[in-house]
Structure 1
């Protein structure tokens, strides 16, 4: 069993309306690839590119929600919407779980009702920013590097109230620490170790240890630039980042957050969903059975305990 905390299939289906979730080979996650492996739960992110005009961003995000329900949930009897630990544990052997997440709060502007609309539509993890800044906080690509705004702090309180995970991936350094002070359920859905690879999107040891102290989920991601700092990487590089987080004390935090369909780079040995079973065997060859289960699914599931609204 595997839970993957992040992918950008919804963005790709929105961007390429002729593609089909069923079998489009361009998708690194499609139904046929997913049906044939041991990934039990896949998180699907709503990501609105910053090229969309601000007055159309909320509508674009809703289009992606519609894609999620109409193209991923509705056509397949064995794909179930999951919003809680209980939903995941209730999945039958032949069933898969799909969870809706949000990457970046730029589509809501300063409107809390728009945020609550996403939560009522089933979003269970919210990344506060993408790389740029918004009304909530700055992302890692914003030179100003500001933390949470007053509105941003209110956003985190709403996420706490709704028992929704606050995702620090893409968030500015100061924003990270503001979230750690306020969030009940912080996670990093797709971030790696900056000690191994000094990319701005990665987390330094101090940040990783802060997440680990709270047993917060940390999803290692399969982006070559975040793994090696180059355009080339292998599954062994993914395992190196997993091991680094584990050695910092992250046995109960480290997990998987592929970012499939979110980047153009490929990691040799885990190019797409179809390679997940062989990657799981690599993990089993390197770590104990108990630790592999934590990496593969238990650590993510732990962050969903009692998180229903």
Structure 2
């Protein structure tokens, strides 16, 4: 028996080797691996010389293994070819091609020749992108398994209120497409099988309240919508998990479930109270859409004629969202409000479901000058699929959506575009993007364009939004360390029949 240099149990397997090979291994001073049997005299050497690597590797020769089966084999595809040539004065084998150790030399030369003749041209040749739709879809499936696809806006919670009055006990989200009114509604695009087919990694569910609730029961209705989102996630915990941070998004995605986030749509939901904003955040809301289609007393929306932007209280809302770590969403705001928010915010912002104004002049879309401000801010515009925001009419195609994505990429940069389809809150969708199952087809179409790399596709799909969210969390943590206190500003009380004299 021979004991491994540096300590280690005797290797009884050496006695089973050909005597000539055994003597060679015992006496050869080189660090060769000898066809997987190693060299017991040289395991303390960190690695062998690699003369003709098949591919780059960080492999080091293991030290003091206890079983020959654990040794790295020099012809394993995942490793590199060991330098096998050595000869010593103590070798009893003659310089002929009879010894087993010499076979190693022959095999090394053959593989090295093949590597030089075939591997090098392959290594130096151009990257060949996937050619067929099926190949591209397979690539997308692989990419979305590694990195999450994140959609910025889905209005399923409002349909739950409209269709079943937020009563979930008898609702099977896996089969609602076969039930009325879901089956025939033009506003319904979401169920669990479709979400799974769409490879969705994370979804912002919208806690939406109509503008007509402003100054009435907007706060209560928002709380009820937050509640139904949380119960929906809990009832379908095999598929969903409520998350509040980027770390949790990544963790839940690795588990194979859909990370579910809450976004409050419309600043009128605050009831002009920063305390309500803080309460929404504590309940899990991670973005607030500053306005909807109506003005609030402190901000102007898209469908209004005023151009006042943000009041002093509105600026306090932005600052408090920065302090909390809540994402500022500028979809539905007037561009005056958007510019004011961009000027005040110390954290990146988003447009959770908007497209490019240059291609469709809807007030919901983002003009080029604001796209440039978004790039400067570090934010992201998440492209909407509503046909009236894509082509400004009732019909659109997947290629029309791609035009918006490419335009935002051209003006703002690849780091500043994402996806915010708006499913279940729209009644007309582009051909090829009919429901939440179609995301992979959009990404596969982009991959057919040589200007789009796999890295670009995963940036669009979700990494850009994660970067923004991380930026928001970073500002929150910095302000916390600096002991920035909650904002206590108030708006002058509004006297109406639904307000208390003690407000």
TM-score normalised over the length of structure 1: 0.95
Structure 1 residues 194, 118: CA separation in 2 closer, same or farther (over 3 Å shift)? same
Match of 2:156 in 1: 9
Q: How far apart are residue 163 of structure 1 and its match?
A: 1.3
User: Which residue does 1:120 correspond to in 2?
Assistant: 282
Q: Trace 1:150-165 onto structure 2 (pairs within 5 A).
A: 150-165=312-327
Structure 1 residue aligned with 2:175? 23
Q: What is the Cα deviation at residue 72 of structure 1?
A: 2.5
Return the match for 2:360 from 197, 202, 206: 197
Contact 1:219 1:257 in 2 (8 A): yes
1:144-187 per-residue CA deviation (whole Å, 9 max, x = no partner) reads 12211121111111100011111111111211111011112311
Tell me if structure 2 keeps the 8 A contact 1:220–1:241: yes
Aligned partners of 1:282 and 1:204: how far apart in 2? 25
**CA-to-aligned-CA distance 1:13-38 (integer Å, 9 cap, x gap):** 11111684443223312222113331
Q: How well do the aligned residues superpose, as a CA RMSD in angstroms? A: 1.6
Question: What aligned pairs does 1:254-265 form with structure 2 within 5 A after superposition?
Answer: 254-265=417-428
- Correspondence list, 1:150-229, <5 A: 150-183=312-345, 184-229=347-392
Matched, 1:71 2:223: no
SS of residue in 1 equivalent to 2:216: helix
* Structure 1 position 51, deviation (Å): 3.3
Whether the aligned pair in 2 keeps the contact of 1:223 and 1:265 (CA below 8 Å) is: yes
Q: Indicate whether 1:131 and 2:293 are aligned.
A: yes
Is 1:252 aligned to 2:415, yes or no?
yes
Query: Using the alignment, how far apart are the partners of 2:157 and 2:298 within structure 1?
Result: 23
Alignment correspondent of 1:272:
435
Give the Å deviation of 1:7.
1.1
- Native 8 Å contact 2:414 2:456 kept in 1: yes
User: Secondary structure at the residue paired with 1:241?
Assistant: helix
Q: Is the 8 A contact 1:109 1:134 kept in 2?
A: no
CA contact (8 A) 2:348 2:471 kept: no
Deviation at 1:125, TM superposition (A): 1.1
2:454 aligns to what? 289
| Structure 1 partner of 2:403 | 240
**1:110 match:** 272
**Contact residue 218 and residue 254 of structure 1 kept, 8 A:** yes
Alignment of 1:72-87 (within 5 A): 72-87=233-248
Instruction: Name which of 464, 470, 482 aligns with 1:299.
Output: 464
Give the gaps of 5 or more residues in structure 1: none
The alpha-carbon deviation at position 89 of structure 1 amounts to 1.5
What's the CA shift for 1:281?
Answer: 1.4
Task: Name which structure has the greater RCO, CA cutoff 8 Å, separation 6+.
Answer: 1
Q: CA deviation at 1:53?
A: 6.1
- Contact 1:130–1:139 (Cα < 8 Å) also in 2: yes
Range that drifts further, 69-78 or 97-106: 69-78
| Higher share of residues assigned strand | 1
Contact 1:8 1:260 in 2 (8 A): yes
Conserved in 1, the CA contact under 8 Å of 2:350 and 2:379?
A: yes
Distance 1:285 1:29 in 2: 27
Is the 1:136–1:155 Cα contact (8 Å) retained in structure 2? Answer: no
**Number of residues paired by the alignment?**
309
Task: Give 3-state SS (helix, strand or coil) of 1:175's partner.
Answer: helix
Distance of 1:146 and 1:160 partners within structure 2: 22
Query: Are the aligned partners of 2:371 and 2:412 in contact in 1 as well (CA < 8 Å)?
Result: no
Deviations 1:113-163 (A, max 9, x none): 111111111111111000110123010101112211121111111100011
Q: In structure 2, how many angstroms separate the alpha carbons of the residues matched to 1:4 and 1:278? A: 15
